[in-house]
Chains A and B, each alone.
Chain A
Amino acid sequence: MNEKEIFELRKTAFNVRKHIIRMSGKGGCFIGASLSCADMIVYLYKKYLNLNKNNLNSLERDYLFLSKGHDVPALYGTFVEIGLLEEERLKNHLKTNDFIYWHPNRNIPGIEFHAGSLGHLLSIGMGVAIDCRIRKQKNKVIVILGDGELNEGSNWETILVAGAKKLGNLIGVVDRNKFQANMATEDLIPTEPLEDKFESFGWEVHRVNGHDFERMHNVFTKLKTDDNKPKVVIADTIRGKGLPSIEARADRWFVNFTDEEVEMLLKELEGDESAQITSVPLHVR
């Protein structure tokens, strides 16, 4: 990847963050988790996956399942930037005339499957990966998982089975932002050593800075998906990345900002001083 390509990715991710910030007003969204995975989602759609608006109905294309569905603003923002979704529709967030709400659903073209209940989409991705292999196709199947989501036992059941089924074409990407709903992951149910856990279940493990496009590119483009080991890329990220006033804070998970705060955050993204935020986070869960 040359400098210009990296610059373009940064520009796209910057725009995606703006979409996310705008969705954090008028009802709010899970802004912290959306900002942590924005870079990886932008990278995957723009540089890695064979997946675009022209091949959605093809059985040969790649797949991306968003299992930690609450970060869907990052996905919708990316869809706008790659031409899958009209920007105008983001204004329909939480409106009765559309289907843009806090979790993804298949009424939006490009969404592989609805999510919201944690611990489901790895098994669904596994079903797709198995079918690709039966048909001797070379598709890659990515499932984005939250680190907090890994509390759910159903993930480990599927990690065990996918290892046994030797699904080299299944790639888990963990958004390791080190927080779950209300607290730091390591303060509740420690997730580390995460590499060892996956390895012991028969997975090939990679770890990368989930905000560094060049490093992500080096990891993803070297994955061999026609071998017999499922892959996991643990992407170390920062919750709220891009907005210093909310970065790595347990209390900035789901927030419903005022219109003024949204404007301040947009300026903060541009490099202004930290926004003065007073909105109390809504603890949805």
Chain B
Amino acid sequence: MKLHSSYELLLKDLVDSDERFMIVTAENRAAIRNLPNQIGDRFIDTGITEQTMVGMCAGLALRGRIPIAHALATFLTMRAFEFIRTDIGLGNLPVKLVGGFPGFLSDGNGPAHQAVEDVSIMRGIPNMNVFCPADEEDMLICLPEILKSPMPFYIRYNNPRPIYSHDRNYKISKAEIVSKGKDVTLLVYGILFKQTYEAKEILEKAGYSVGLINVRTPKPIDEEAIIDASKNTKLLVTIEDHFLTGGLYSIVAEIFLKNKITSDVLPIALMNKWFKPVLMKDLLEYEGFTGAQIAGKIKEKLKQIKY
């Protein structure tokens, strides 16, 4: 499939070519501003009503549609949580929930807007899946397969320009192995891919052999990629703009317990506190998530590990 130049164009193409697709929003049009005039009654805005929107999506799905629903990540996953759990999850309906401004992307809004437990609560719902693209290109590569699948999905919408040319082959549940390393493997999803990539370059300049895995879907997780990294590297690092509880660090721990393996794992996450509401650049610095800060924490950890 061709790579679309924007999220809107991808959705427009899907709506035009496949009558199942409907574009829905609870008055959050940031990512789809031009679509209402282009797709007519295939666009529905329910107003600031996340619960009603999710319920309506279940109804549309019962009629054979694939609704792609947009709302701010916090209000979508938390205000409407029970509708997602009971109607979409239990119903196992092909509804795609797109959370806007997840994680650090809510920058100056304040804790009410901070979706930093969304991955945890969405992945806890049976049948529900979670996709956290690294950037716009990564999102546009993976979305066609995800949106066309019959699986319910929660998507952390993320559209910064890429700093890395992503692997265009995508299959649901497969992570993107950016590099393999012997000293440390960095596991990351979402917007922090950029800072993690910078950390990898800093560590490599310091002489370390660094693996980098773009997780893409925390659920279904690419278990094999994580086990493989744990076997071939001294330290795993999980990096996420998410609470420590229930996110990637927890996912790795679950995989290790299930497979009776262990490894040194350094979590770089929000230590179960909300983050400082300031603009992104200052936020990353304040919370310790710049590439240099991530690299610094990893170097410290590597020094502690005895071989």
Report A's interface with B, CB cutoff 8 A: 59, 106, 112-114, 116-117, 119-132, 134, 154, 157-158, 160-161, 164-165
Contacts and interface: CB of A to CB of B under 8 A. Distances in A.
B55 A126 contact: yes
A231 to B, nearest CB: 17
Across the A-B interface, give the 7 residue pairs with the lowest CB-CB distance, nearest first. Answer: A127-B59, A123-B55, A127-B56, A131-B63, A124-B59, A128-B59, A127-B60
Given A123-B56, A124-B56, A113 B49 contact: no
B82 A123 contact: no
Contacts of A127: 55-63, 67
18 contacts: A59-B64, A112-B62, A114-B86, A117-B82, A120-B87, A121-B55, A122-B55, A123-B51, A123-B52, A123-B53, A124-B87, A125-B59, A127-B58, A127-B67, A128-B59, A158-B49, A164-B47, A165-B44
Given A117-B86, A127-B63, A128-B63, A161 B58 contact: no
A157 B58 contact: no
Contacts of B87: 113, 120, 124
Given A120-B83, A120-B87, A157 B62 contact: no
Nearest to A126: B56
Main secondary structure of the interface of B (DSSP, over half): helix
Contacts of A160: 47, 49
A124 B93 CA distance: 12
Interface centre among A106, A121, A124, A130 (most CB of B within 10 A): A124
A214 B57 CA distance: 36
A220 to B, nearest CB: 22
Nearest to A129: B59
Interface residues of B, number: 28
Given A154-B51, A157-B49, A124 B58 contact: yes
B87 to A, nearest CB: 6
Contacts of B300: none
A211 to B, nearest CB: 30
B44 A158 contact: no
Contacts of A126: 52, 55-56, 59
B59 A157 contact: no
A235 B7 CA distance: 47
Contact of A161 (B42, B52, B65, B91): B52
Given A120-B86, A127-B59, 6 more contacts: A123-B51, A123-B55, A127-B55, A127-B62, A130-B56, A164-B47
Nearest to B50: A157
Contacts of A164: 47
Nearest to B56: A127
Most B-side CB within 10 Å, residue of A59, A117, A131: A131
A121 B87 CA distance: 9
A175 to B, nearest CB: 20
B69 to A, nearest CB: 11
Interface in B27-64: 41-42, 44, 46-47, 49, 51-64
B90 interface: yes
Nearest to A123: B55
A172 B29 CA distance: 30
Contacts of B91: 106, 113-114
Nearest to A124: B59
A259 B109 CA distance: 61
B59 A123 contact: yes
B82 A161 contact: no
B153 to A, nearest CB: 18
Nearest to A125: B59
B62 A113 contact: yes
A105 to B, nearest CB: 9
Contacts of A123: 51-56, 58-59, 83
A158 to B, nearest CB: 5
Most buried by A among B49, B63, B65, B82: B63
Contact of B59 (A117, A131, A165): A131
A113 B52 contact: no
Interface string B267-303: 0000000000000000000000000000000000000
Contact of B41 (A59, A122, A134): A134
Interface in B204-262: none
Contacts of B62: 112-113, 124, 127-128
B52 A158 contact: yes
Contact of B65 (A124, A125, A131): A131
A119 B87 CA distance: 12
A157 B51 contact: yes
Contact of B58 (A113, A116, A158): A113
A166 B49 CA distance: 17
Interface string B55-81: 111111111110100000000000000
A106 B58 CA distance: 14
A271 B22 CA distance: 55
Contacts of B54: 123
Contacts of B52: 123, 126, 154, 157-158, 161
